[in-house]
Structures are given as C-alpha cells and as structure tokens.
Amino acid sequence: MDDKWTNLLLPRFRYGNIEPPGGGVRRGGYMFYRLVPMDVMEISIGLGIKEYTPEGVESAIANFWPCVDTLAQEKIDWLILGGVPISSQLGRPRVQGLIEQVQAKIGVRMDTPTEAIIAGLNHLGAKKVTIASRWADQLNGRLSEYLTSAGFEVLHVTSRNQWGKQAFAMSLEEGLQMALDVGREAAGNAPQADAIVAPGGSALSLHVIPALEEEFGKPVLTNLNAEVWNALVRPGVIKPVQNWGALLRG
C-alpha cells in the first residue's frame, strides 16, 4: 500500500450506520458533517424498512445481520442501528440483546439513537422528559414504554399521526418546519420537563437544538446529537462540539 498518498484520505474513524430505509432519497449526511470532522467517515447501508408498524419492523429486522456483516467488512469502529421507531417496536430488552450479540460477533460497539438519548439524558441528570414526536399513537406509546423502562418519566408526547410512508414522503422544508412545530408544542405542554427529546431522522432536526434551547432553556436531544456525543465526543474521538447545544458542548 502506498501509505504516503493513501494516508491523505484514510479516515481515522469509521462510523457504520444501518439506516432504516432501503432506498430513495437520503439527506442525513448533510447534518452529520455539521458536527464531525471530515476524517470521520460515515459508511451507511439500508435496512430496507417499508413501514414502522410492528409487522414492518419484524420484516425488516431479518436484514439486520447481513447489514452488520457488510459493515464489518468495511472495518467500522462503531455501529448505529438507526431509527428510533425500530428500537421502540423491538423494545429495550431485545435491543440490548442485539448490542451484546454484535459486540460478541464482530468486536464493535453497537448503539441506537434511543440508547444514545438515554445515555445523554443520564449524563445531563434529566429525569422528566417531553417528547416532540411526529408519529402515530401506537409508536409513541412504544417509545414512551422504552424510556419509562430506562427510568425516565414521560410527561407529554406530541403526535402528527405519521407512519414511515408519511415521514419518508415529507419535503425538506416540511420536515424542517414540523420538527420545530412539534418541539415547541412538546416544550410548551410540559414546562416542568428537564429535557426535550426530539426523535426522528426523516425530518432534519438539528436546527431545533439551538432554537428550543434558546426559547425554553432546556437541553434538547435528537437522534444525531445524542449519537455523535455517545460515539465520538464522550470517548474523546473528537472534541466537544460548539454551537449545537448543551449535550455536545461537553
């Protein structure tokens, strides 16, 4: 290997990401590189989920291990099973079982956005949360159960009755505005909450962190800021990230 030149482009960290959809438009990398240096490489593969219902998640999770094997061949340093709806429908015991199995099989830590959010909430000392959700009531209930099982009190959950098809069909602008709308509604309906949880990757939501923290004076946790904090900032792979909220400031 011609190290002199290949080292110019070799990443120092390979961030493996199993994204929920199998195909179609993806915009997630646009937010990822607002937070992390360019020598952290995101390597993504689609799980192939068509719907966030229990049946849809069970069908798609059959693709999980082939996705893990593919990313292991890419020599990843960390693995994310993306999609709060996926973790929510599987339930925490099953997710934690998968985390243990991945570690045993490929020697890499697996995380999920929900587990990263839990770690971030614990780090911040937050016990009472309000959830800024776009999802349908059944899915909201599963997410609430997940967080409750981890020791948090869920004070309020918003809803826009979305399943996967509606979420994936949103335009960029629709998603940006909806993330702000449900965030403000969640914060306003639970003023006693310690933190605002704004899950969901289909709508770009990084902008809600500075917006809601300025308006309501509470930390805001999204999929991405929690994942980046847990995988990269917390273990010291990258420095704390400024201008994107209390969690990433370190």
pLDDT of residue 21: 67
Percent of the chain with pLDDT over 70: 93
* pLDDT attached to residue 31: 85
29 pLDDT above the threshold of 80:
no
3-state helix, strand, coil in the chain (%, to 5): 50, 15, 35
Residue 148 CB partners (closer than 8 Å, separation 6+): 154
Phi and psi at residue 165, in whole multiples of 5°? -60, -40
* Eight-class DSSP state of 135: B
| Residue 204 in this model has a pLDDT that exceeds 90 | no
**pLDDT (0 to 100) of residue 230:** 98
Query: Which tokens is 1 given?
Result: 């290997």
Where do we find the tokens 């702000």? Answer: 180
The total of other beta-carbon atoms located within 10 Å of residue 249's CB is 13
Report the chain's mean pLDDT, rounded to a whole number.
Answer: 91
99-112 tens-digit pLDDT: 999 999 999 999 99
Specify the higher pLDDT residue, 5 or 49.
Answer: 49
Q: Once rounded to an integer, what is the mean pLDDT over residues 169-191?
A: 90
Query: Residue 163's pLDDT is what?
Result: 87
Domains 3-112+227-249 and 115-223 share a fold: yes
Counting Cβ atoms within 10 Å, is residue 140 exposed (0-12), middle (13-18) or buried (19+)? buried
Q: Which residues contact 123 (CB under 8 A, 6 or more apart)?
A: 229, 234, 247
Instruction: End-to-end CA distance of the chain: give it in Å, rounded.
Output: 38
Residues contacting residue 33 through CB under 8 Å, at least 6 positions apart: none
**What is the mean predicted confidence (pLDDT) over 125-151?**
97
Q: Which residues contact 211 (CB under 8 A, 6 or more apart)?
A: 180, 183
pLDDT at 250: 77
Show the tokens assigned to 188.
């306003």
- Give residue 218's pLDDT: 97
Residue 1, pLDDT score: 54
Give the per-residue pLDDT at 35.
93
- Find out if CATH 3.40.50.12500 is the number for domain 3-112+227-249: yes
HSE (CB half, 13 Å, CA atoms) of 77? 12
Whole-number Å distance between alpha carbons of 235 and 217 = 27
The domain ranges of the chain are: 3-112+227-249, 115-223
What CATH number is given for 115-223 in this structure? 3.40.50.12500
